[in-house]
Amino acid sequence: MRVVLLSSRARAGTSEVLAQVRATIARHATVVGEFDVNDTLPPDLKADRAVVIGGDGSIMAALRIFMAHATPVVGVNTGRLGFLAEFDTASLETHATAIFGANPLIRQRMVLAVSVRAADGTTRYEGLAVNDCVVTAGAPFRMIELALRLDGENGPEFLGDGIIIATPVGSTAYNASAGGPIVHPDVEAIVVTPNAAHSLAFRPVVVPAGLAVQAHVVRANEGTTLVVDGHINVSLRVGDTVVAKRHHDMARIVARPDSSYWETLVDKMRWAESPNYRAPGA
């Protein structure tokens, strides 16, 4: 069993966690390489598992890298929330035999293929989004104007702060903060949520995964940007078109056999948590 170990070395406390994780792996597998999540990995690197120490940003970066090799990713959380990270050091040790065995529990997750096409038809950017791609207004923070096309048909043209195009995995991220729906990650769909649209009638929509979503930039600011998974920034200009559609492959995440999506939604996102009511007579 060959394992690649990635970590965010700049994050406080990583070295201690890295030592514990390295020791756990050594009892079950062979580490064939250690890298920072920002490193460029050797093109001939072969591994059966990729263990990532960090937060959701680090795990998303690893999923984008290893998806092409069908390598399952094991997330060990050292971030603030770690919604995608199934393990901490204790649970990694508990489930190590299964994780590094022949048949771990692997969940496949839909990923978006994202591109930016210029007015002259040239492609300015191509990449993958595990969570979402977001067109954001940017400085000087005037409203921008976008025209949507859904599966080749004209949709609404609107003013606002931008648009969020999310996967089911990403529906609990920026999309949820903007009032979009939470979609179970086993559902193959794309969520389209306006960000502060200047309209009383533009509501989020959930569309089939096989449908292509296009956002054409009609009016922009100097700082208008496409943000992919919260980390990749692409400057946008008037005439650009952002295209998001389901990628033909899936990301693979090693899951804990003793946890569920609903448990994570309640424990980490505080789903449907009641207000802090005062006791009667208090």
Q: How confident is the model at residue 220 (pLDDT cuts 50, 70, 90)?
A: very high
Q: What is the pLDDT of residue 251?
A: 96
**Overall average pLDDT of the 215-231 stretch:** 97
84 neighbors 59 (Cβ within 8 angstroms)? yes
Q: What is the pLDDT of residue 79?
A: 67
| Euclidean distance between CA atoms 26 and 86, whole angstroms | 20
Kindly report the CA angle at 16 between 15 and 21, in degrees rounded to 5?
95
Give the strand order in the sheet containing 162-166: 205-208, 189-195, 162-166, 132-136, 225-228, 232-235
Q: pLDDT digits over 89-148, tens only?
A: 999 999 999 999 989 999 999 999 999 999 999 999 999 999 999 999 999 999 999 999
Q: What is the pLDDT of residue 5?
A: 95
Q: Lowest mean pLDDT of 11-20, 23-32, 233-242, 273-282, name the range.
A: 273-282
8 neighbors 36 (Cβ within 8 angstroms)? yes
Options 36, 44, 56, 120, the catalytic residue: 56
**Overall average pLDDT of the 38-66 stretch:** 91
Which domains are present in the chain?
A: 2-105+255-269 (3.40.50.10330), 111-248 (2.60.200.30)
Q: Give all strands (DSSP E) within the chain, no chain letters.
A: 2-7, 30-36, 49-54, 73-77, 106-117, 123-129, 132-136, 144-150, 153-160, 162-166, 189-195, 205-208, 213-219, 225-228, 232-235, 241-254
Q: What is the pLDDT of residue 263?
A: 85
Among the residues of the chain, which ranges form H helices? 14-26, 56-66, 89-94, 96-99, 174-177, 261-269
Q: Which residues of 131-150 are buried (b: 16+ CB within 10 A; e: fewer)?
A: bbbbbbbbeeeeebebbbeb
- What are 219's two structure tokens? 């009016």
| Euclidean distance between CA atoms 6 and 52, whole angstroms | 5
Q: pLDDT digits over 57-102, tens only?
A: 999 999 999 998 889 999 998 867 677 888 999 999 999 999 999 8
Q: What is the pLDDT of residue 22?
A: 94
**Overall average pLDDT of the 193-197 stretch:** 96
58 neighbors 78 (Cβ within 8 angstroms)? no
User: Is a pLDDT exceeding 70 seen at residue 282?
Assistant: no
Q: Lowest mean pLDDT of 13-22, 67-76, 129-138, 157-166, name the range.
A: 13-22
**Number of C-alpha atoms within 13 angstroms, CB side, residue 39?**
17
Q: What is the pLDDT of residue 276?
A: 64
- What are 117's two structure tokens? 């096409």
| Euclidean distance between CA atoms 267 and 25, whole angstroms | 27
**Overall average pLDDT of the 222-249 stretch:** 97
Q: Verify whether residue 56 is a known catalytic residue.
A: yes
Q: What is the pLDDT of residue 85?
A: 86
| Single-letter code of the amino acid located at 6 | L
